[in-house]
Amino acid sequence: MAVIKSIDDLLQIVRNGGGLDMQVDHRTTPELVQLVSNAKPKSTIILRNANTRPTPDLVHIAANAKGCVIFVE
């Protein structure tokens, strides 16, 4: 069983240049915005199951990204 990292752990990873490949199911839109806005410019964050989010939420997440965000349905 996969361990779900805390938002603080994930923020520490992206603030230090790490990338992420994660499901959006267990995160709120504000948490995802916080993650992408704290990422380093060359970081890549892959958000899977993006089809579970409304398009305006995905646009809001993308608009706040400092690195590359890839939405996977």
Tens of pLDDT, residues 20-47? 999 998 899 999 999 999 999 999 999 9
| pLDDT for res 1 | 66
| pLDDT for res 4 | 85
In tens, the pLDDT along 62-73 reads 999 999 999 999
Contact 37, 6 (CB under 8 A): no
pTM of the model: 0.91
Please give the Cα distance from 72 to 47 (Å, whole number).
Answer: 6
Task: Quote the percentage of the chain above a pLDDT of 90.
Answer: 90
